[in-house]
Structure 1
């Protein structure tokens, strides 16, 4: 299964994090991805590049220069997928829009990733990840119980858009297998972020997110909450079933509180204060080690650095020991949903590393 996309060639042009992530995921399944770097990118490689450009090739092209433009069009002739992240209208001005590329390669899957999509009153508006989270209600949902709104520490909209792009492209490739026709995929960062609310706030009735109230209620239940431990760490309890809640409160000698553990909106609810007092009596790891064997859903809030030492992730090859082009040792995140024979990709290339190879190929 690792080579399921073997033989598929992807061009990444003008892409930002979502496009890089999409290419990274598809490369993990065997696709060959070529980065079309801008001239100013030739100055070096970023930390993001070290991970998301693994296994890819790179060429630096100025698409406004006639020779480089011709080289790019030749690359599209044999490509299966093109991913671009320009603002709407830019690809038309560069002469590389879907219609122009389709005239050369009718079967190409052309994926446009933009902030607000190719159409609509705000199509040309500039924005980055947190703005999409803010305007779609996602940021509010993540901060619903916080005393003060805080900025997210991960690019959730970027990652979701990359995932959606990979899914849409694979679906389009399957469609091409059936019809022989290519497709233009119009992906909006705003829409992708908004779609993440489907599992919690996806339905409105009388001006209120119906399922959102349920989600908020769940996050307020004492048996589904975050607690501080003696060592200053935090643990998460998700004892959402009657069985788990009974086991949790029973361990602490007060099984009668299990119902309050699953309640919200009761001003006399003593369960949260009771649990906080219990958990404050020992360290986080003690509680994880003690309650996990009882099948009580518990885990420790970890930093990203600590997550790299997670034994489950390591056992499933989601933490990889790799090297960059200079031989420096790196630990990097692996590929989800792949066979356990994790692909051994080459280090991320410096911009233009494959210039001669790719230029020579298109000149033939």
Structure 2
């Protein structure tokens, strides 16, 4: 069995952060019932890029965060639709939602309302800025939280402007925080018998990740500058352009300094006692970086990797996406898997990166078609017959 088998999650969320969280929980064994708007569904079903297959086009964006779920379509503005959600919540272990503050309260689907029908329910509300505070009613997206949390101000080349990372870091890390919160709350419920409410702010989630940048402010009163791939407190830690135009990243602690100099034939630096400690190298950053930049420019990336590996100096080639997905180690670890989709046939996916001994492994399932499981869920969980389901459909509730 999988670790979360038997856990039922009612997922009212859409777009990226919470769907990413619920997909992780689904592939760890939870039954995730994804509630979508009739007719259109999660808006990411219409997001680029689209994969084309014999059965039509499917959003790659949607598929990346919605595998292994059951899709039901329910109109949350319809009283009968709201009644369906209340009935499903009465049987669920967890409810996840990311509506703007106050939206579900107006529909009788907020935590106080659903706590009455299911005191054991774990109810997680993910918003941009949380349920309280002066920004509570503001709206935001991934890059807004990157900007307001300071992450974007830390990212970019020396002397340049702020740069967003190449992935939606605020959304993805928020998804991980949501998954952690759900698992924590379930453990608490198991101990006390009572469910509870989790207020998660995506801005809070990003501020909490400032860690070592905040440490520099707390300890030194320093606002860390943008340094590209360099590290404000360690030298050398940076990416270097090699003779063939490719980049190699090196991270060196004190024990690696002499082997690094030996590998790159930097004999003068190796015997300089002032550079034997990180503090000394930080103080003489420009000198060290100039010497390393020159040495790395004289060799190809493959040659540099071989030289540094021979001395056991931590290094890694800066790989493009296609190189990563074709890498032999990535392949050996099974980090590119596949599922079978009715419209696309076999399609690749990135699995949950956990390997268990004692439980079944998480395996990518396929993402659901819109409303694919509506009738089955209403029959199995709520006991609705065909006539009642047809009436709900006619009324626009599903």
In structure 2, the residue matched to 1:191 is: 204
CA contact (8 A) 1:107 1:180 kept: yes
**Distance change (3 Å), C-alpha of 1:346 and 1:28:** closer
TM-score (norm 1): 0.90
Given that 1:325 and 1:348 are in contact with CA atoms closer than 8 Å, whether structure 2 keeps it comes out as: no
2:305 maps to 1:288: yes
Give yes or no for contact 1:227–1:235 (8 Å, CA) kept in 2.
Answer: yes
Pair 1:86 & 2:88 matched: no
2:390 counterpart residue number: none
**Residue-by-residue CA offset, 1:266-316 (whole Å, 9 max, x unaligned):** 37x432222222212232223223312321111111123322123333222
Distance 2:232 2:215 in 1: 17
Q: Does the 8 Å contact 1:112/1:185 carry over to 2?
A: yes
CA distance in 2, matches of 1:219, 1:140: 14
Distance 1:344 1:100 in 2: 36
Q: In the aligned structure 2, how far is the partner of 1:107 from the partner of 1:27?
A: 20
Partners of 1:38 and 1:60 within 8 A in 2: yes
Runs of 4+ more than 6 Å apart: none
DSSP-derived class of the 1:41 partner: coil
Aligned twin of 2:295? 278
What do residues 92-129 of structure 1 show as CA deviations (whole Å, max 9, x unaligned)?
Answer: 01211001111111100000000000111110101111
In the TM superposition, residue 161 of structure 1 has moved relative to its aligned partner by 0.9
> Conserved in 2, the CA contact under 8 Å of 1:219 and 1:225?
no
Q: CA RMSD in A?
A: 2.5
Taking the TM superposition and a 5 Å limit, the aligned residue runs for 1:58-73 are 58-73=71-86
Aligned to 2:387: none
SS of 2:326's equivalent? coil
Q: Which residue of 1 aligns with 2:185?
A: 172
Task: Give 1:320 deviation, angstroms.
Answer: 1.1
Q: Would you say the 8 A contact 2:73–2:371 is kept in 1?
A: yes
Secondary structure class of the residue paired with 2:62: helix
| 1:108-164: CA deviation from partner (whole Å, max 9, x where unpaired) | 000000000011111010111111111111111223735232232211111111111
Residue segments in structure 1 that go unaligned for 5+ positions in a row: none
Q: Distance in 2 between matches of 1:95 and 1:50?
A: 31
Q: Following superposition of structure 1 onto structure 2, how do residues 192-271 of structure 1 map, counting pairs within 5 Å?
A: 192-202=205-215, 204-205=217-218, 208-209=221-222, 218-219=231-232, 222-239=235-252, 241-258=253-270, 260=275, 262=278, 263-266=281-284, 269-271=286-288
CA distance in 2 between counterparts of 1:256 and 1:86 reads 61
Tell me the TM-score normalised to structure 2 length.
0.83
Q: Distance in 1 between matches of 2:86 and 2:135?
A: 30
Counterpart-to-counterpart distance in 2, 1:175 and 1:283: 54
Structure 1 residues 84 and 290, CA, compared in 2 at 3 Å: closer, same or farther?
same
SS in 2 for 1:295: coil
> Quick check: 1:32 aligned with 2:45?
no
1:314 maps to: 331
Alpha-carbon distance in structure 2 between the residues aligned to 1:250 and 1:203: 32
User: Is 2:356 the counterpart of 1:334?
Assistant: no
Equivalent residue for 1:355?
374
Rate the CA distance shift 1:39–1:207 in 2: closer, same or farther, 3 A: farther
